[in-house]
């Protein structure tokens, strides 16, 4: 085994945001040396890594030169230069997940086609090189409304995805490669995180459920375990594992899925890294997702993915009417509630809907946690200093 602990071994992380910041808690716990590259001089990772470099993650030379400084390279964001990863792999620098895997995932059209090839269930779709081809399909009646439009590249946090209900809306779409997907009426939106090592050890986390706001079309709570039947949960975990193995993915893969009205599982999309849907694991799981990602990419034994207690995660996003220096109003009130842990990502400036942190609520009883989560949601506000 390579000696990772308190040694000269160096792990590189592309991206220095909150996911990297939380990963650093665990590199610190194991005393693994870390190098971080991020475009922002105020990246949350800037402290707690051993070496920080400011630079463009999409720039070939920048990523190549950064990667040459480390022994193993990983990323906390998909938007990185894949060609540079390929060059680094050719030089013998281990990149996990691999450039080949990331390349398939970065482009949603390629990702969807891959599911079809690998016999992985997903919503029916068609890919379009240009927006005019999609418009022609709609005009000819070959594609009926409504449907889901997804940009093949560049989507993030709900950007690059739209439900198209009328032809008029097509005019607003960018002229870029895209997918049109059938709208699937679903019971639940689920996610499963899979961990896989270079040696091929695989473990799946329990299924989590995204609970949506009853009127606004927004995820309010990520709930673990999902309140679904056991046979559905087993199917979801099996599908997620199949996806991970198809990609020959190494590290964490978050697989987002729909549970249809007929209890079918359809893969929506994947993220090849620690994921928002796994944040609950810091407080609730035997092995949190960040530690598990490290274990996976370093080919260490994977930890137990079971939960100690039920967990619910609420995102802390900037209030829609506030922009400026951040204040977490009523944070002391939520800290009084049972089993509540706020996580503050360290961004100084709040903006409408900016992800500023999250709150985890744990309880042996998931229904009890759900009640507390609603109280948390009702109290805390991310606003700007008046």
Residue numbers belonging to the annotated binding site for ATP: 108, 150, 181-184, 189, 268-269
Which DSSP helix (H) or strand (E) runs through 179?
A: strand 178-181
Q: Is 6 in the site for its own copies (CB under 8 A)?
A: yes
User: Looking at 342, 353, 379, 381, which residue binds its own copies (CB under 8 A)?
Assistant: 342
User: Looking at 347, 369, 372, 373, which residue binds its own copies (CB under 8 A)?
Assistant: 347
Q: Is 338 in the site for its own copies (CB under 8 A)?
A: yes
Contact 356, 317 (CB under 8 A): yes
User: Looking at 177, 291, 292, 319, which residue binds its own copies (CB under 8 A)?
Assistant: 291
Q: Is 116 in the site for its own copies (CB under 8 A)?
A: no
Q: Is 336 in the site for its own copies (CB under 8 A)?
A: yes
Q: Is 297 in the site for its own copies (CB under 8 A)?
A: no
Residue 220 CA to residue 228 CA, distance in Å, equals 18
Q: Which stretch binds its own copies (CB under 8 A): 22-30, 82-90, 128-136, 138-146?
A: 22-30
Q: Is 1 in the site for its own copies (CB under 8 A)?
A: yes
* Three-point CA angle 55, 58, 61, nearest 5°: 70
Q: Which stretch binds its own copies (CB under 8 A): 19-27, 111-119, 213-221, 366-374?
A: 19-27
Q: Is 199 in the site for its own copies (CB under 8 A)?
A: no
Binding site per annotation, positions: 108, 150, 181-184, 189, 268-269
Minimum separation from the CB atom of position 147 to its own copies (A): 41
Contact 183, 171 (CB under 8 A): no
188/287 with CB nearer its own copies: 287
H helix runs in 247-285, sequence order: 281-284
Residue of 314, 377, 318, 386 whose CA lies nearest to 347: 318
Residue 289 CA to residue 230 CA, distance in Å, equals 22
Residue 74 CA to residue 202 CA, distance in Å, equals 18
Q: Is 41 in the site for its own copies (CB under 8 A)?
A: no
User: Looking at 254, 326, 359, 366, which residue binds its own copies (CB under 8 A)?
Assistant: 326
Q: Which stretch binds its own copies (CB under 8 A): 72-80, 110-118, 185-193, 345-353?
A: 345-353
User: Looking at 20, 67, 206, 339, which residue binds its own copies (CB under 8 A)?
Assistant: 339
235/358 with CB nearer its own copies: 358
25/156 with CB nearer its own copies: 25
Residue of 223, 238, 155 whose CA lies nearest to 190: 223
Residue 297 CA to residue 198 CA, distance in Å, equals 7
CA dihedral 161, 279, 207, 111 (to 10 degrees): 40
User: What are the phi and psi torsion angles at 223 (to 5°)?
Assistant: -120, 125
Size, binding site for its own copies by CB under 8 A: 44
Q: Is 30 in the site for its own copies (CB under 8 A)?
A: yes
* Per-residue burial over 126-150, b = 16 or more CB atoms within 10 Å of its CB, e = otherwise: bbbeebeebbebbeeeebeeebbbb
Q: Which stretch binds its own copies (CB under 8 A): 26-34, 66-74, 173-181, 365-373?
A: 26-34
Residue 71 CA to residue 3 CA, distance in Å, equals 12
293/343 with CB nearer its own copies: 343
Residue 254 CA to residue 278 CA, distance in Å, equals 8
Minimum separation from the CB atom of position 295 to its own copies (A): 7
Q: Which stretch binds its own copies (CB under 8 A): 138-146, 165-173, 239-247, 298-306?
A: 298-306
Minimum separation from the CB atom of position 152 to its own copies (A): 36
Helix (H, G, I), strand (E, B) or coil at 115: helix
Residue 25 CA to residue 27 CA, distance in Å, equals 6
User: What are the phi and psi torsion angles at 34 (to 5°)?
Assistant: -130, 140
Residue 207 CA to residue 197 CA, distance in Å, equals 20
- Residues forming contacts to its own copies in the complex (CB under 8 A) are 1, 3, 5-6, 21, 24-25, 28-31, 47-50, 286-287, 291, 295, 300-301, 303-304, 308-309, 326-328, 331-332, 335-336, 338-339, 341-348, 362, 364
């Amino acid at each position: 085994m390579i000696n990772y602990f308190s040694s000269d071994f160096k792990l590189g992380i592309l991206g220095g945001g909150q996911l990297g910041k939380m990963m650093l808690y665990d590199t610190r716990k194991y005393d693994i040396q870390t190098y971080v590259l991020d475009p922002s001089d105020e990246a949350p990772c800037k402290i707690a890594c051993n070496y920080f470099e400011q630079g463009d993650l999409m720039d070939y030379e920048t990523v190549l030169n950064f990667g040459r400084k480390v022994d193993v390279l990983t990323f906390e964001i998909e938007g990185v230069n894949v060609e540079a990863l390929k060059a680094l792999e050719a030089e013998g620098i281990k990149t996990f997940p691999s450039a080949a895997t990331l390349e398939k995932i970065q482009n949603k059209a390629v990702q969807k086609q891959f599911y079809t090839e690998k016999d992985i269930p997903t919503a029916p779709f068609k890919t379009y090189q240009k927006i005019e081809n999609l418009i022609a399909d709609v005009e000819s009646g070959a594609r009926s409304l409504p449907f889901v439009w997804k940009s093949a590249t560049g989507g993030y946090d709900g950007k690059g995805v739209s439900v198209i209900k009328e032809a008029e809306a097509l005019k607003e779409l960018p002229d870029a490669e895209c997918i049109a997907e059938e709208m699937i009426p679903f019971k639940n939106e689920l996610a499963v995180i899979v961990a896989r090592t270079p040696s091929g050890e695989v473990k799946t986390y329990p299924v989590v459920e995204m609970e949506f706001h009853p009127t606004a079309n927004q995820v309010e709570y990520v709930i673990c375990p999902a309140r679904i039947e056991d046979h559905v949960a087993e199917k979801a975990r099996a599908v997620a594992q199949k996806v991970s193995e198809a990609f020959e993915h190494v590290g964490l893969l978050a697989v987002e899925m729909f549970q249809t009205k007929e209890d079918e599982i359809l893969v929506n999309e994947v993220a090849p890294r620690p994921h928002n849907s796994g944040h609950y694991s810091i407080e609730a799981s035997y092995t949190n997702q960040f530690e598990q990602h490290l274990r996976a990419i370093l080919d260490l034994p994977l930890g137990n993915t079971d939960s100690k207690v039920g967990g619910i995660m609420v995102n802390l996003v900037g209030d829609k009417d506030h922009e400026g220096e951040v204040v977490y109003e009523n944070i002391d009130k939520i800290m009084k509630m049972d089993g509540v842990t706020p996580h503050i990502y360290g961004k100084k400036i709040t903006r409408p809907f900016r992800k500023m942190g999250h709150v985890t609520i744990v309880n042996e009883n998931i229904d009890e946690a759900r009640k507390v989560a609603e109280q948390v949601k009702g109290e805390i506000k991310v606003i700007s200093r008046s």
